[in-house]
Chains A and B, each alone.
Chain A
């Protein structure tokens, strides 16, 4: 296969990684019944924080830890405000999304375009005989390998383990989970903070591995978090499908880079290309629930109706039943 195509496909795999962690992190939070809308700001602040700490301590590991801690701290504010204070989740999330973005740009200003340290690519030894698969999937930095494991672990945890089923329980039917002895509020705190930490990891993944360095608003991270939130919906709150959505987005970004070098379309237009697509996919997965669609379907002749409703049902995704609804132990 052509070297250029292999490089492009390897780029898709790499670019998907931060979004993948952010989306699955948000997926875990939303499974527990909370929406953390701050993702966009969290990624920017964590990206800056991780970069600066890694630069000053000369430790990439510390950079990642700080990224996760920043994400966890922001999520803790969301959890406190939503679970304990019962304030609007949308309001607090949106405020933090704006605040953390500006805070990242403000605090990061002195470090703009400073040369820093970053994760280098480590080919997996022993696999070098296999063509095609290896250059695409196995010549990457460690975060990419971590993402493969992460997808599988997240999926197995959510659907095959006892705590995972409990996680679904507190998001779907918290009263039933409470009746069976679950501490719904504490668990929601835990999973919101855990999800936030994973979202935070996406920050240093950009600045220390995928889009190396910190360039303030020119880092091009503004917007990625909103896409990550949309991917969670698109993926129907299932880590495997969410991962697929992240790869799709990585593909679009990589396509933008490729097109930019071969055509003269302004970079800003290519950067915005995923957004119309995001609206379109959200329409696709949601439209099956709209009342007028059901009416139209009912009026259709038998055959096309069956086919259409099957397609719509296959596309449709449903949020955890208690997403966004506060829980009261009574």
Chain B
């Protein structure tokens, strides 16, 4: 058993979203767009034009649309991982750092295997395993600190996010610096033969899409249809009761963190092999934080989170178009945050009305 502080009690109920629920959520989304439009008016931008340019930026061409899918991949993987910890009632805020550590291990594996003359496919597989190990390692730390050190996983994870970023920067400027001069733009690029090739005329590698689909389906099955998922859910609802009923809570807490870290590490390896081809200071690209928002937005529902992740990915990609309107690209974060805020508030209002009745 762990010393639970009430702060970490989450409403981690994975439940069905009915029609009424859906309608209420939709109205929250509309409210969020109205509110966001007011913010756009505040900076003297035309909201309709802004939304239009986001849509064009996300779906205007094959390249753009496949970029959205390529960005959906790490997001849906991150969200899937977080569903395990959320189901167990844990706030794995350290997701971002876990993706960074996956990237660090992946790049490290490349550096080890680069010159061995090994078959590139085998190298890539080993790199993914290394990335997964990095993610698991970094995810178990807040779990162990929570269980054996009494440190709330929110603060453990947050601190570890910053530490992971520091390690990445240290590597970039120190041991792994480019020949010649160290640069904040990252380490040396990996050899072309190790990169996951995009489908012709697109920005998307088929391999990563398949990995993401497998992970999304696997997560839904594991959480909804296995004993493992049920036990996690029992712990999430009431860990003390679950312990008394014979579920080894400590082991399951660590398993949830481990699953999350596994997926985080895979996401990190994907970002290295298909997007960045190197280690950069912001190696997590914010996918860990975004994954938390997606999971909260859909009330921790596996299938819906895959759908909403597409929407969030489209916002992040289409958002870059706003630069042509003189707006900065933090707009996506603003809109995403407001969406989740309104959904949580409107959901709370609904529950309050139900309670009153």
With known contacts A94-B292, A290-B149, A35–B333 Cβ distance under 8 A: no
Q: Are B166 and A268 in contact (CB under 8 A)?
A: yes
Check: A85 CB closer than 8 A to any chain B CB.
Answer: yes
Most chain A CB neighbours (cut-off 10 Å) among B8, B156, B292, B328: B328
Q: Are A286 and B150 in contact (CB under 8 A)?
A: yes
Check: B28 CB closer than 8 A to any chain A CB.
Answer: no
Within the complex, what minimum Cβ distance (angstroms) separates A44 from chain B?
A: 11
Q: Which of A89, A107, A226, A323 contacts B158 (CB 8 A)?
A: A226
CA distance A282 to B5 in the complex (A): 14
Check: A219 CB closer than 8 A to any chain B CB.
Answer: no
Q: Are A290 and B148 in contact (CB under 8 A)?
A: yes
Q: Are B155 and A233 in contact (CB under 8 A)?
A: yes
Q: Are B333 and A98 in contact (CB under 8 A)?
A: yes
Q: Are B159 and A106 in contact (CB under 8 A)?
A: no
Check: B165 CB closer than 8 A to any chain A CB.
Answer: yes
CA distance A266 to B177 in the complex (A): 13
Interface of A (DSSP majority class): helix
Q: Are A282 and B11 in contact (CB under 8 A)?
A: no
CA distance A253 to B154 in the complex (A): 23
On chain B, the residues within 8 Å of A87 by CB distance are: 11, 344-345, 347-348
Most chain A CB neighbours (cut-off 10 Å) among B9, B334, B340, B344: B334
Q: How many A-B residue pairs have CB under 8 A?
A: 168
CA distance A193 to B276 in the complex (A): 43
Check: A119 CB closer than 8 A to any chain B CB.
Answer: no
Q: Are B337 and A105 in contact (CB under 8 A)?
A: no
Q: B153-194, CB under 8 A of A: which get 1 and which 0?
A: 011101110110110011001000000000000000000000
Q: Are A88 and B334 in contact (CB under 8 A)?
A: no
Segment from A140-148, A195-203, A269-277 that makes contact with B: A269-277
On chain B, the residues within 8 Å of A7 by CB distance are: none
CA distance A266 to B165 in the complex (A): 13
With known contacts A98-B289, A99-B333, A279-B160, A324–B169 Cβ distance under 8 A: no
Within the complex, what minimum Cβ distance (angstroms) separates B169 from chain A?
A: 5
Q: Are A98 and B293 in contact (CB under 8 A)?
A: yes
Check: A248 CB closer than 8 A to any chain B CB.
Answer: no
With known contacts A85-B352, A91-B10, A282-B151, A107–B43 Cβ distance under 8 A: yes
Q: B1-31, CB under 8 A of A: which get 1 and which 0?
A: 1110111111100000000000000000000
Q: Which of B11, B341, B352 contacts A95 (CB 8 A)?
A: B341
Q: Are B337 and A106 in contact (CB under 8 A)?
A: no
Q: A273-305, CB under 8 A of B: which get 1 and which 0?
A: 101101100110011111110000000000000
Check: B281 CB closer than 8 A to any chain A CB.
Answer: yes
On chain A, the residues within 8 Å of B292 by CB distance are: 94
On chain A, the residues within 8 Å of B93 by CB distance are: 94
Q: Are A106 and B328 in contact (CB under 8 A)?
A: yes
Which residues of chain A (25-71) have a CB below 8 Å from chain B? 35, 37
Q: A288-330, CB under 8 A of B: which get 1 and which 0?
A: 1111100000000000000000000000000100111100000
With known contacts A226-B158, A323-B5, A85–B345 Cβ distance under 8 A: yes
Q: Which of B1, B39, B152 contacts A291 (CB 8 A)?
A: B1
Q: Are A278 and B10 in contact (CB under 8 A)?
A: no
Check: B228 CB closer than 8 A to any chain A CB.
Answer: no
On chain A, the residues within 8 Å of B9 by CB distance are: 88, 324
Residues of A in contact with B, size category: 35 or more
On chain A, the residues within 8 Å of B312 by CB distance are: none
CA distance A110 to B42 in the complex (A): 12
List the B residue with the shortest CB-CB distance to A272: B166
Most chain A CB neighbours (cut-off 10 Å) among B5, B11, B156, B170: B5
Check: B214 CB closer than 8 A to any chain A CB.
Answer: no
Q: Are A81 and B6 in contact (CB under 8 A)?
A: no
Within the complex, what minimum Cβ distance (angstroms) separates A53 from chain B?
A: 14
CA distance A110 to B331 in the complex (A): 14
CA distance A95 to B338 in the complex (A): 8
Q: Which of A275, A276, A292, A323 contacts B148 (CB 8 A)?
A: A292
Q: Are A91 and B5 in contact (CB under 8 A)?
A: no
With known contacts A81-B345, A324-B7, A106–B334 Cβ distance under 8 A: yes
Q: Are A106 and B345 in contact (CB under 8 A)?
A: no
On chain A, the residues within 8 Å of B11 by CB distance are: 87-88, 91
Check: B63 CB closer than 8 A to any chain A CB.
Answer: no
On chain B, the residues within 8 Å of A278 by CB distance are: 155, 159
Q: Are B165 and A272 in contact (CB under 8 A)?
A: yes
With known contacts A102-B330, A105-B328, A268-B169, A95–B337 Cβ distance under 8 A: yes
List the B residue with the shortest CB-CB distance to A282: B151
Q: B195-239, CB under 8 A of A: which get 1 and which 0?
A: 000000000000000000000000000000000000000000000
Q: Which of A106, A229, A230 contacts B330 (CB 8 A)?
A: A106
CA distance A272 to B159 in the complex (A): 9
Q: Are A102 and B345 in contact (CB under 8 A)?
A: no
On chain A, the residues within 8 Å of B344 by CB distance are: 81, 87, 91-92, 95
Check: A186 CB closer than 8 A to any chain B CB.
Answer: no
Check: A84 CB closer than 8 A to any chain B CB.
Answer: yes
With known contacts A109-B328, A286-B151, A89–B337 Cβ distance under 8 A: no
New A-B contacts (11) at CB < 8 Å, excluding given A85-B351, A99-B334, A268-B169: A87-B345, A95-B337, A95-B340, A101-B333, A102-B333, A226-B158, A230-B155, A279-B160, A282-B152, A290-B147, A291-B3
Complex A-B: 5 CB contacts under 8 Å: A87-B344, A88-B10, A95-B344, A283-B145, A286-B150
